[in-house]
Structure 1
């Protein structure tokens, strides 16, 4: 219903960091392509659609960047996170996992939706829209999960590809030592 079923099926894949580094070295900011000995190559929306089964058509993904973390969590998750679980406009993924680890099979509809939002947020922070530490997820995505039926109408595939392109561009800076984003697409 939300469009994240394909991402769930991907599972854990260990990254080849030497390959990632080699690709970053060959990334060109101007064209968003890899310059390889045999020509140029890039990751496309079709790749994202096939690998993650994420929707690439639909509404643009844009959330409330200035949203208050505690207010949004209370409104959509039913709990207020402790100060230690909040960093700027992000929420600690491990706190989400610990707080929502025991789902009861007889939960009401609101509880099921809260747990679904948490699960999707963990997918976003851990795979699709990762930070350099992969420990936090931006709160702007939570408001997009308010109505889970509407969440499936967003173009999550194009948003994750744009996130990867942005992170690849940041990683090419001389002082960059880390990279984030959906690197599994590489």
Structure 2
């Protein structure tokens, strides 16, 4: 256990300041433009935008890591065993937990998908397989007062994509998000019918138990 390891990296964390603001490399801390709010609300993911910048306590994280048991997917605490549930995903992330399961098909051509749903052709240097750089999405899809309604829709899809890749379902790259999530945003009214919370919870559990 960590408390028996004198050279564990957590000792460094324990001597640093208590709180840190966590921000993914490709995710902005800026509030979404007011013209995006309608589309984001229709998708049922607007509540998750308030997680753009959030604070964590390294000491608490270290304690939870020590108490996690991958065999049972639970934290062993003095009060008993606890785990992360769908209810937690709903309360903490404000995402839907009821509805259709998210099933992805990766047989598409990424350039065609981006052009059709985002209205722009992505340069080759921002594409990595089926992933796209979030910094490009953030830079290219800005909303202004003179933006057309279609441009606002494109920007809303790009914003949701960075939200997914930056906070909800991030990978180790820190600046890439999979384009497989784009098709569910084609219609925001349909997007709200998916159980995003169950996908996030499964993603969380898998990454907890994954070995290096």
TM-score range, shorter chain: 0.7 to 0.9
TM-score, normalised to structure 2's length?
A: 0.74
Whole-Å separation in 1 of the counterparts to 2:66 and 2:110: 36
Distance 1:37 1:142 in 2: 43
Does structure 1 retain, via aligned residues, the 8 Å contact 2:51–2:167? no
Q: Which residue of 1 aligns with 2:8?
A: none
CA shift at 1:68, angstroms?
2.3
1:146 to 2:186 alignment: yes
Aligned counterpart in structure 2 of residue 7 of structure 1, from 27, 43, 48: 48
Instruction: Name the structure 2 match of 1:46.
Output: 87
Mapped to 2, the partners of 1:54 and 1:40 lie a distance apart of 25
Match 1:124 to one of 157, 164, 184: 164
In 1, Cα distance between equivalents of 2:105 and 2:64: 32
State the match for 1:27 in structure 2. 68
**Preserved CA contact (<8 Å) 2:52 2:167:** no
Unpaired stretches in structure 1, ≥5 consecutive residues:
177-186
Q: Which runs of 5+ in 2 are unaligned?
A: 1-41
Partner of residue 180, structure 1: none
| Counterpart for residue 71 of structure 1 | 112
- Segment of structure 1 superposing worse, 87-96 or 8-17: 8-17
Check 1:17–1:89 CA distance in 2 against 1; reply closer, same or farther (3 A cut): farther
TM-score under structure 1 length normalisation: 0.84
**Structure 1 stretch displaced more, 115-124 or 29-38:** 29-38
- Looking at structure 2, the residues matched to 81 and 26 of structure 1 have their Cα atoms a distance apart, in angstroms, of 44
Structure 1 equivalent of residue 137 of structure 2: 96
Shift of 1:118: 0.6
Give the C-alpha shift of residue 131 in structure 1. 0.5
Distance (Å, rounded) in 2 between the aligned partners of 1:66 and 1:23? 39
- Per mean C-alpha deviation after superposition, the further-off stretch among 112-121 and 16-25 is 16-25
User: How has the CA–CA distance of structure 1 residues 107 and 166 changed in structure 2, closer, same or farther, with 3 Å as cutoff?
Assistant: same
- The more displaced of 157-166 and 37-46 is 37-46
- Over 3 Å counting, the alpha-carbon distance change for 1:89 and 1:106 in structure 2 is same
SS of 1:50's partner is helix
How far did 1:90 drift? Answer: 0.9
Indicate which of 152, 158, 163 corresponds to 2:198.
Answer: 158
Deviation at residue 4 of structure 1 after TM alignment: 0.9
